[in-house]
């Protein structure tokens, strides 16, 4: 159970948060698709002396109040960070992002690296640009196709099954469609969330440049059996980054649970040694 909860107001919208711990360092956490802020409570018992954790319910998730057809913009996220820092009276912030929440963290590395102390990414989205996602949420034709797909899903389900059989769609994308679109409620949720989050697309080249320039410690935890975001993407991402460390765990996309939360937290607590240029 959270020690405190509340709302942070942004552009007329309200993002709900849960807060744990009383550590001097601030850890701002962002969950994945169809999760909520409570997913990170597993880490509280291990990190509460080092960090104060503020976990955000992203738009249309948890208890957040967000108007339909309203985007979460980069300025919105930066305002959220500034308010959280002001709330805790800190000058630096650490970030924790799981899956879709990892993409939020990567955007912050790109646009406000000087304020970031450490970043923890767990099976993060955004390590590469997802062409399908971009087309369906950022182009006029793609948006129309996406809406038609959601309102005429039975017609497309057979097509997707055929594409899977012909290996034109990989198993992970096929599973996503079947899992998150088989009820009207879930289709509506997808229609709300995907476009809302589509403005947050990091430029990987700039993200890596900022990690190197500002020597930002980045810890990436991936699941060895993750078919949604395979560890090969993270292996490529960390190449050439002195302060980025990759850990591949024997898990699927849900990389952390009660069994390994303590192990992950212990790694988070240990500082990454960065060699001084004068040495």
Q: Alpha-carbon distance 251 to 27, whole Å?
A: 24
The pLDDT of residue 244: 97
Distance of CA 130 to the CA centre of its chain: 14
The pLDDT of residue 117: 97
Burial (CB count <10 Å: 0-12, 13-18, 19+), residue 28: buried
Q: What is the CATH number of domain 4-129+201-269?
A: 3.40.50.1820
Per-residue model confidence as pLDDT tens digits over 185-234: 998 999 999 999 999 999 999 999 999 999 999 999 999 999 889 999 99
Q: Which two tokens stand for residue 226?
A: 């993750």
Per-residue model confidence as pLDDT tens digits over 134-172: 888 999 999 998 888 888 877 777 777 888 888 877 777
- The closest of 154, 250, 204, 28 to 18, measured between CA atoms, is 28
Asked if residue 275 has pLDDT above 60, the reply is no
The CATH 3.40.50.1820 domain(s) of the chain lie at: 4-129+201-269
Specify which of 23-37, 123-137, 258-272 reaches the highest per-range mean pLDDT. Answer: 23-37
Q: Which two tokens stand for residue 243?
A: 């302060």
Percent of the chain, pLDDT > 70? 96
If you average pLDDT over residues 99-115, what whole number do you get?
98
Q: Alpha-carbon distance 242 to 230, whole Å?
A: 22
If you average pLDDT over residues 18-36, what whole number do you get?
97
If you average pLDDT over residues 13-24, what whole number do you get?
97
Contact, 30 vs 58, CB < 8 A?
A: yes
Adjacency order of strands within the sheet including 218-223: 4-10, 13-20, 51-56, 25-30, 93-98, 116-122, 218-223, 244-249
Q: What is the mean pLDDT of the chain?
A: 92
């Amino acid at each position: 159970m959270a020690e405190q909860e509340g709302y942070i107001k942004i552009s007329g919208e309200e993002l709900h948060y849960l807060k744990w711990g009383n550590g001097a360092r601030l850890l701002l956490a962002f969950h994945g698709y169809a999760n909520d802020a409570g997913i990170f409570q597993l880490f509280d018992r291990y990190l509460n002396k080092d960090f104060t954790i503020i976990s955000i319910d992203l738009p249309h998730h948890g208890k957040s109040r967000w108007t339909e057809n309203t985007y979460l913009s980069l300025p919105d996220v930066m305002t959220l960070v500034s308010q959280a820092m002001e709330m805790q009276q800190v000058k630096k912030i650490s970030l924790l992002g799981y899956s879709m929440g990892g993409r939020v963290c990567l955007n912050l590395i790109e646009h406000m690296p000087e304020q970031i102390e450490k970043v923890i990414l767990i099976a993060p989205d955004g390590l590469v640009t997802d062409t399908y996602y971009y087309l369906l949420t950022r182009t006029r034709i793609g948006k129309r196709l996406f809406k038609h797909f959601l309102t005429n899903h039975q017609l497309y389900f057979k097509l997707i099954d055929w594409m899977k059989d012909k290996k034109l769609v990989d198993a992970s994308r096929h599973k996503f469609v079947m899992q998150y679109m088989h009820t009207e409620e879930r289709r509506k949720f997808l229609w709300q969330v995907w476009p809302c989050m589509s403005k947050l697309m990091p430029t990987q080249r700039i993200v890596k440049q900022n990690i190197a320039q500002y020597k930002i410690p980045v810890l990436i935890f991936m699941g060895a059996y993750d078919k949604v975001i395979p560890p090969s993407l993270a292996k490529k991402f960390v190449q050439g980054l002195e302060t980025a460390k990759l850990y591949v765990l024997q898990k699927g996309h849900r990389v952390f649970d009660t069994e390994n939360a303590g192990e992950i937290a212990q790694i988070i607590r240990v500082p990454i040694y960065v060699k001084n240029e004068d040495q």
